[in-house]
Structure 1
Amino acid sequence: MTDLKPISTLLLSCALTAALTSSYAQQAPKPDDPEMKIYRAVPTKINDLIHTKLDVRFDYKKRYLYGKEWVTLKPHFYPTDTLRLDAKGMDLKNISVVKNGKNIPLKFTYKDSLSVAIQLDKVYHNNESYTIYIDYTAKPNELKSKGSAAINDAKGLYFINPDGTEKDKPTQVWTQGETESSSAWFPTIDKPSQKTTEEITMTVPSKYVTLSNGKLVSQKTNADGTRTDYWKMDLPHSPYLFMMAVGDFKIYKDKWRDKEVNYYLEPKYAPYAKEIFGFTPEVIEFYSKTLGVDYPWNKYAQIVVRDYVSGAMENTTATLHGEYVQGTHRELIDAYYNNGRSTIVHELFHQWFGDYVTAESWSNLTVNESFADFSETLWAEHKYGKDVGDEHNHDALLNYLRTPDAKVKNLVRFYYDDKEDVFDVVTYQKGGRILNMLRNYLGDAAFFKGLGIYLKTNAFKNGEAQQLRLALEEASGLDLNWYFNQWYYGAGHPILNISYKWDDATKTQTIYLQQNQDGQTFKLPFAIDIYAGGKKERHKVWMNDKADTLTFHVATKPDLVNVDGDKILLAKKTDNKSIEEFSFQYFNAPLYMDRYEAIEAAAANQKEKANQKIIIAALKDKYYGLRIKAIKALNLTNEDIRTAAQPILASLAQTDDNTLAKAAAITALGKFKASGNLTLFKQALNSESYAVQGAALEAIGQIDAPEALKQAKAFEKDNKGALTTSIFNLYATKGGTAEWPYIYDTFKNGGAQNKFNGVRAFADMTGRIEKPEYAQQGIAELKDFGIKYKMYGADKFVGTLMQTIKTQRTQLNDTASATAAENVAKEFGADVK
């Protein structure tokens, strides 16, 4: 499963932060919750799945799946005459045991509509298998299900626009199995500790394409306008990794070595298939060589579907992606690593960590998701350079550190309220950083050798953190119990304070280290780099106590003492360096985080010359991400900063080779509100980049709003991403009745992230628009937004907005709209006065 990107609190607009934080606090499990006291053991194995054969067809009108299943099992160890299968919300018409080609009906009990208890025809032993036949109907839309932060729905099978009534939306069917939702479309033992081979026969309208796990063995055209596709998976995998997808897709055929690598896209995105997914074979090759285990399956396919309930899902041999990974050529120009590409490599790494070796229970989800999260950094630094990898690593660390209750959760978690709760920043972002630290500690050779041992030892089976530890110990010869006890079976992180003292008389550099967190003391190995006399000397040290003092003899006063020289620690650090030391660090230390920390320090007080020197130099940093950081940090109210920055910004706005940095420079120049830049901004409107166009339009709006409105009209039919946002914000703040249709359609049809980003501007225009019928449209749409995203606190936020809208509509003598706004505010619990 992808790394919590679709709608995380970090991605939502700042306007919603307070509401979301409050909502999150209300939803977080309480320490006295009885569910938190239940030990979540690995499910007992009474019967083992061996093979699952399915024959399915779809009723688009009813949103049903009609299925026939032949599932082969055997007792795990002890003899048994019973079988329990997970089967959620189904009509079970016939359950029989297959004997000599005949179906012999069995007695079964299906009271809770969640699992079925079957009385077998005899006692079976673990040296004999048996096959059960089931005739059933799955009704996913009638199933009451609960999702999570990573997977916002859990009904297993999804019919998208099945009646063809939604304009510009294709008709599709697709599945989502994780965590235990495959049993909403076929009866099974829906646990990650089970593994089974698979056959699926799908009968679909002949105009559609199908995709499933494994190999497409055959296709048969039927007389009734349908086609039957037969897919076969010869290698065992867990039921939650089963998948089907049906719809109008174009297939782009690629390959890795002698294996198929295919990309399934809607026809309008098919021309961009190579741009979107074309680096996949290169990633497969890199991961295969790095892990010492070649890609283990017969093919790899990726498909993009509509209305997906998560970011992406690593179904074995057939990853399913949400829409945000795709784009046209112009959109992809502005795509940065986090925007889609990191998801593509994340899901691919799961084919080893998650599919080839699967977590034996959700408590050990770390051996799936922490690895996939780590792989994003691994590929970034390999393909795009260490700065990109380090930026990705740091962004993930911040995501973890900023999450309120993350510090109280163990990585391996045997106590939780619901299995869905384990899909969080601890399992993903923290877990990925723990692996990256371990890689640094062991060294690449030992670390990746250990991963290879883990994969080969547990191939097509299940794994847990202890097996990972044993494999890494075998590879390295080191005891790692201390590391796993601290990071895998404990919670929290060090809050580290670092201070320094130089004694010129004794030529002694002293470093004071203090861990200020409550609870355990963390044992921390790391490097200290001392820069003195034009040289750098590295010292490898350990911090073993809450307070440690380290001393080093140095010939001359160091220019810089760089604690955690590899910038690898999973910690919240306060590093008490002078701005002169940070300046030396920026210009001499090699890493992204060295420069990042210096820019952070300099941004805090830009009145000082030393600070200004760092900020201005960073405008020309070799990495575009830090150029953007410096641009956004500029204090343009400071005259010295304005004077020094303006010519650099003008140059970047015209010549930077990265469109996002160019756009950031244009945005900053726009704040000067200098009419002399109008020509530059108008030229930027001709850019192929939506980001550059959007920044230029915004900058023109700062100088000449009527001209910006005029220019925006020309882009109404072709805008995406940042340009759409700029037009939306311009119209919402400067536009009127003529611009409302664009505003309304853009908000109504926008994706979740765009709605969160634009909700305040949309509400502001709803409050001031002249036509009452337009105000009513806006109020209705805001209400729908509040209901749809209630789990993120959107209802509370919309309730507050409605109070302002009520006041605005009252001032415009629009009583009906004022009343409508008041009613929504009350419905959402706002205190209406």
Structure 2
Amino acid sequence: KKITDFKQKDNWLIIYLPKKLSKNESASISINYECVPKRGLYFIGWNDSLPYSKRQIWTQGQGIDNRHWIPMFDDMSDKITQDITIRFSKHYQVISNGVLIEKKDLKNNMSEWHFRMNQPHAPYLIMLAIGKYKTKSFVSKRGIKITAYYYPDKEYCADTTFRYSAQMMDFLEKETGLKYPWEQYSMIPVQEYMYGAMENTTATIFGDFFLVDEYSINDRDFLAVAAHELAHQWFGDYVTARSPSHVWLQESFATHYNWLVEKAYFGDEHYDWNRKSVIDNILKESEKNLYPIVHSDAGSTRIYPKGAFVLHMLKYVIGKNQYDAAIKRYLQKHPYENVDTHDLLVAIYEETGMYLDWFFDEWIYKGGEPHYHVRFEEYQTDKEKTGMFFVKQTQVWKDNVYLFKMPVVFEIHFTDGSFVTKTQWIQEKDDVVKINFDKNKTVDYVLFDPNSNILKKVRFDKSYEMLIAQAAKAKNMLDRYDAIAAMSSIEINKKRAFLQERYWKGNFHAIQSEIIKQLINDTTDAESIR
């Protein structure tokens, strides 16, 4: 029955039903409309008088922009299924969410595409992309079809850009403990895209600047972005944050798991540098304000890399096996649902029996990071030696930032290659850690939180001799890097020979860059550097 009693007011379509509905009674409404969307749906290249721009149509719905082309309630707290039919020129490819149910040719060089999403997802994830593409297909071990779209004139980029696509799917299924929760997956490049990529359910759109060949991949690699958006199919699309305050459950998880994908292909040191490289930006953000991660104005630095680092610390605190089991339970408990941070906390408790309110309180619900000032002193008696670490927390107490409680590893390394280690909870303003060792041992260097597993600012003054030993002998790249970086204030004539030697030892690129940074203005011995 046609409804004539409706009105449009501001951003609202108000419909007056012909009869009252009872509680739990359902009804269907069809809305016929035309629109000229200013946001959400974009037409690119159609009015270009020159032949350089590709003609495309694509969407960007995150936020609440899909309402500009579909009359709908598109808050992230909602979940919908969808059925979309598009009629367009048969000379173009049309892509939308879900499964292509049917494609049929019509008159006048037109075709009709029918797509369906059988499982519910958030309305902002509805997508449409139309353009001229070729495709490359991959299949995961479990038989999930992955379709990679690329421009016909960019075929030479396909193999490089989309390498490891199936392997990433396999890896994330294993890492999350949950099978890919949709029927298929696609990746579609578009021009003039305002972001890097968008994790629309089953169909990621990405900027075509990521289409790279074997040479340009050294400047811009799609791998991390591809892994990030694929991880969103679990974290964001399958389970969706209930409100913007909890969006870290999407972005921090996707960032952390794209770090893990990179680790699988590029190694542990690459993963460690991903963590190290974001610390300065996180600390600078806390100089502006002390918003927690769970805050609608937290900002991208907190909801992407800081939250990803916090997940690394969560794994460090409870162990990888416990972490993996808890995340699997969290996902399995909330299929195609909306979640908030408390749901994650509950899932961890249910799986591990651990009360982690303290961890979530200091790292998620409150802002800031710990600042440590560390000193090491050595004492000797007739029977033994004692190494003492004096740890002071120096962060300013304000805006709900107080003392942090974390288990910290302390190591004392000796000249004979052996070492002793101790893990102690650091939670007071002043803590002292004592480690006894054989009186015949000679200390070579010491470490506070080896491999930087804790997000922190630290001042730990060490002798030049201790820094040299750490830079040359420490097992972890980050500890070697920290020692080199700590030499920046040391006079060049004292450190030149050592830095030159370390440069040629095949060190990680960040260490070599730090060495060059310290030697760059040294012209005294330019010939030997060359």
Above 0.5 in TM-score? yes
How far is 1:488 from its partner? Answer: 1.0
Q: Hey, what does 2:2 align to over in structure 1?
A: 104
Give the secondary structure class of the aligned counterpart of 1:453.
Answer: helix
More displaced stretch, 479-488 vs 254-263: 254-263
Which amino acid letter does the alignment assign opposite residue 24 of structure 2? N
Q: Hey, what does 1:136 align to over in structure 2?
A: 33
Which amino acid letter does the alignment assign opposite residue 584 of structure 1? A
Alignment partners' CA distance in 2, 1:625 and 1:405: 25
Alignment partners' CA distance in 2, 1:229 and 1:289: 34
Which amino acid letter does the alignment assign opposite residue 436 of structure 2? H
Q: 1:619 to 1:628 in 2, by over 3 A?
A: farther
Q: Hey, what does 1:558 align to over in structure 2?
A: 443
RMSD: 1.9
Which amino acid letter does the alignment assign opposite residue 44 of structure 2? I
- In the alignment, is the contact (CA less than 8 A) between 1:192 and 1:360 conserved in 2? yes
2:411 equivalent among 508, 519, 529: 529
- In the alignment, is the contact (CA less than 8 A) between 1:507 and 1:557 conserved in 2? no
Give the secondary structure class of the aligned counterpart of 2:28.
Answer: strand
Q: 1:120 to 1:588 in 2, by over 3 A?
A: farther
Q: Hey, what does 1:191 align to over in structure 2?
A: 75
Q: Hey, what does 2:85 align to over in structure 1?
A: 201
Q: Hey, what does 1:511 align to over in structure 2?
A: 389
Q: Hey, what does 1:341 align to over in structure 2?
A: 223
How far is 1:517 from its partner? Answer: 1.3
Give the secondary structure class of the aligned counterpart of 1:499.
Answer: strand
2:422 equivalent among 539, 554, 568: 539
How far is 1:610 from its partner? Answer: 4.2
1:591 equivalent among 458, 461, 476: 476
Which amino acid letter does the alignment assign opposite residue 42 of structure 2? Y
Which amino acid letter does the alignment assign opposite residue 199 of structure 1? D
Alignment partners' CA distance in 1, 2:355 and 2:342: 12
Q: Hey, what does 2:112 align to over in structure 1?
A: 228
- Give CA deviations for 1:522-570 in whole Å, capped at 9, x if unaligned: 1121211221242122211111112212222122342122000231111
The question of 1:461 aligning with 2:337 is answered yes
Alignment partners' CA distance in 2, 1:566 and 1:441: 14
Which amino acid letter does the alignment assign opposite residue 341 of structure 1? L
- In the alignment, is the contact (CA less than 8 A) between 1:531 and 1:560 conserved in 2? yes
5+ long unaligned stretches in structure 1: 1-102, 142-154, 647-833
Give the secondary structure class of the aligned counterpart of 1:133.
Answer: coil
- In the alignment, is the contact (CA less than 8 A) between 1:602 and 1:612 conserved in 2? no
Give the secondary structure class of the aligned counterpart of 2:34.
Answer: strand
Alignment partners' CA distance in 2, 1:179 and 1:168: 31
Q: Hey, what does 1:399 align to over in structure 2?
A: 281
How far is 1:136 from its partner? Answer: 1.6
Give the secondary structure class of the aligned counterpart of 2:136.
Answer: strand
The TM-score normalised by the length of structure 1 is 0.60
The question of 1:376 aligning with 2:258 is answered yes
- Identity among equivalent positions (%) equals 29
Q: Hey, what does 2:14 align to over in structure 1?
A: 117
Give 4+ residue runs of structure 1 displaced > 6 Å after superposition.
none
The question of 1:179 aligning with 2:57 is answered no
Q: 1:125 to 1:405 in 2, by over 3 A?
A: farther
How far is 1:638 from its partner? Answer: 4.1
Alignment partners' CA distance in 1, 2:274 and 2:207: 21
Q: 1:125 to 1:440 in 2, by over 3 A?
A: farther
Give the secondary structure class of the aligned counterpart of 1:584.
Answer: helix
- In the alignment, is the contact (CA less than 8 A) between 2:150 and 2:188 conserved in 1? yes
Bigger proportion of residues as helix: 1
Q: 1:198 to 1:609 in 2, by over 3 A?
A: same
Matches within 5 A, 1:373-522: 373-403=255-285, 407-413=289-295, 416=296, 421-505=297-381, 507-519=385-397, 520-522=402-404
Q: 1:306 to 1:422 in 2, by over 3 A?
A: farther
Q: Hey, what does 2:462 align to over in structure 1?
A: 577
Alignment partners' CA distance in 2, 1:106 and 1:546: 70
Q: Hey, what does 2:174 align to over in structure 1?
A: 289
Which amino acid letter does the alignment assign opposite residue 374 of structure 1? H
Alignment partners' CA distance in 2, 1:557 and 1:484: 41
- Give CA deviations for 1:685-744 in whole Å, capped at 9, x if unaligned: xxxxxxxxxxxxxxxxxxxxxxxxxxxxxxxxxxxxxxxxxxxxxxxxxxxxxxxxxxxx
- In the alignment, is the contact (CA less than 8 A) between 1:106 and 1:120 conserved in 2? no
Q: Hey, what does 1:162 align to over in structure 2?
A: 46
Higher Rg of the two aligned structures: 1
How many residues are aligned here? 520
- In the alignment, is the contact (CA less than 8 A) between 1:602 and 1:615 conserved in 2? no
How far is 1:469 from its partner? Answer: 1.1
Alignment partners' CA distance in 2, 1:522 and 1:321: 39
Alignment partners' CA distance in 1, 2:231 and 2:277: 20
Alignment partners' CA distance in 1, 2:49 and 2:379: 78
- In the alignment, is the contact (CA less than 8 A) between 1:406 and 1:426 conserved in 2? no
How far is 1:406 from its partner? Answer: 5.6
Alignment partners' CA distance in 2, 1:436 and 1:501: 31
Q: Hey, what does 1:609 align to over in structure 2?
A: 494
Q: 1:125 to 1:424 in 2, by over 3 A?
A: farther
5+ long unaligned stretches in structure 2: none
Give the secondary structure class of the aligned counterpart of 2:31.
Answer: strand
Q: 1:581 to 1:476 in 2, by over 3 A?
A: farther
Give the secondary structure class of the aligned counterpart of 2:344.
Answer: helix
The question of 1:298 aligning with 2:183 is answered yes
How far is 1:270 from its partner? Answer: 2.4
The TM-score normalised by the length of structure 2 is 0.93
How far is 1:631 from its partner? Answer: 3.1
